Amino acid sequence: MRIHYECLACVANQCQKIVEMGAHDLELRKRGVIEAAKLMARISGDSIPAIFGSEVFLGVYRVIGNDDPFKEYKELSNRLAEKVASDLKGEEIDLKTALKLAIIGNVIDFAVGYPPERIEEDVKAMLGEELYVDHSGELFERLGNAKTLLYLTDNCGEIYFDRLFIKKLKEAFPHLKIYVAGKEGPIINDATVEDLKKAGFGEFAEVISTGTRIVGVPLEGVSNEFRKVFEKADVIIAKGQGNFETLSEVSDNRVFYLLKAKCRPIARELGVPQGSMVCLRG
């Protein structure tokens, strides 16, 4: 996916969050956003939003001297999501419901100000919504004949819903070798390898790194180890918009995207109304 006109404003807004969350000094915040503006001036019409945005964010990190400005935000996200996912364990959840929960996990805004007591209510409400595009039947059929699955995670918080889904996948397809990938290091609120290990993914999957801190999966920048797993995987599940932005550049029918079209550019690319939840084959 190449950049749309709205993407610049999105990156700028994210940079404001970065400096406000990662630095207290006003002068340092100003230097951070000035660096962001300089880096954003290098954009071209062929830029991929996730890659371009990540490069800008990392530049701001360097200027403000904070390598993980979203640290507290991610910890809050994980605490809230872990509790809700744990409460759901006691309910009867089939494979399709677990898939929807993985998508719903991407929807909830765990930012400060979101009332924690609403999370369970909101999750149950969204479970009643239908997927606008639903290729889950084909996904499960493919998994039944697959030997290996590569699951590409997105944000902290929602990884606890991913864990629930992957556990259900392992129960349904015990023959399946599952790899779960996270980022090599912190970038906005994306899940790192360390986050995945802390969340217990190692109990039923092999946790691997993409080998990069860039949002999504920039195939030209991943590690050789990740590339080998990517190339041999029979099925790839890609969570969230960042993974779509990077992988939609390659035509690969092994990939199934699980996401909500949160912004107009993604909705435009997918050909769905903004806000739609989708399970879409590549």
Based on the domain organization, do 39 and 91 belong to the same domain?
Answer: no
Residue 160 and residue 78 in contact, taking contact as beta carbons nearer than 8 Å: yes
* Residue 18 CB contacts under 8 Å (≥ 6 apart), including other chains: 32, 57, 60, 61, 64, 69, 70, 188
Q: Which two tokens stand for residue 46?
A: 């062929």
**281 DSSP β-pair partners:** 256
Q: Are residues 56 and 83 in the same domain?
A: no
Q: Give the model confidence (pLDDT) of 211-256 as tens digits.
A: 999 999 999 999 999 999 999 999 999 999 999 999 998 889 999 9
> What value does the mean pLDDT take over residues 258-268?
94
Q: What are the Cα distances from residue 152, in Å, to 64, 144, 258, 282?
A: 29, 19, 10, 14
State mean pLDDT over 71-77.
89
pTM for the structure as a whole: 0.95
Residue 260: both structure tokens together: 């909500």
Cα 248–chain centre separation: 14
Whether 205 and 247 map to the same domain: the answer is yes
Task: Say yes or no: 77 and 213 in one domain.
Answer: yes
Q: Is beta strand 133-134 parallel, antiparallel or unpaired with respect to 148-152?
A: unpaired
Residue 89 scores a pLDDT above 50: yes
pLDDT at 54 over 80: yes
**Same domain for 28 and 77?**
no
In a domain? residue 1: no
188-209 core/surface letters (b: 16 or more CB in 10 A; e: else): bbbbbbebbeebebeebbebbb
The label of the residue with tokens 């590569």 reads 150
**What residues make up the domain containing 58?**
7-64
Rg of the Cα atoms in the chain: 18
Between 125-129, 165-169, 174-178, the lowest mean confidence (pLDDT) is in 125-129
Give the CATH number of the domain where residue 38 resides.
1.10.8.380
User: Where residue 87 sits, what CATH number does that domain have?
Assistant: 3.40.50.10880
Give the pLDDT score at 112.
46
For the chain, what is the mean pLDDT?
93
Distance CA 122, CA 120 (A): 5
Alpha carbon distance 196, 163 (integer Å): 9
The answer to whether 139 and 279 have CB atoms below 8 angstroms apart is: yes
Do 141 and 15 lie in a common domain? no
Q: What percent of the chain has pLDDT over 90?
A: 82
Q: Which of 33, 64, 95 is the last residue of a domain?
A: 64
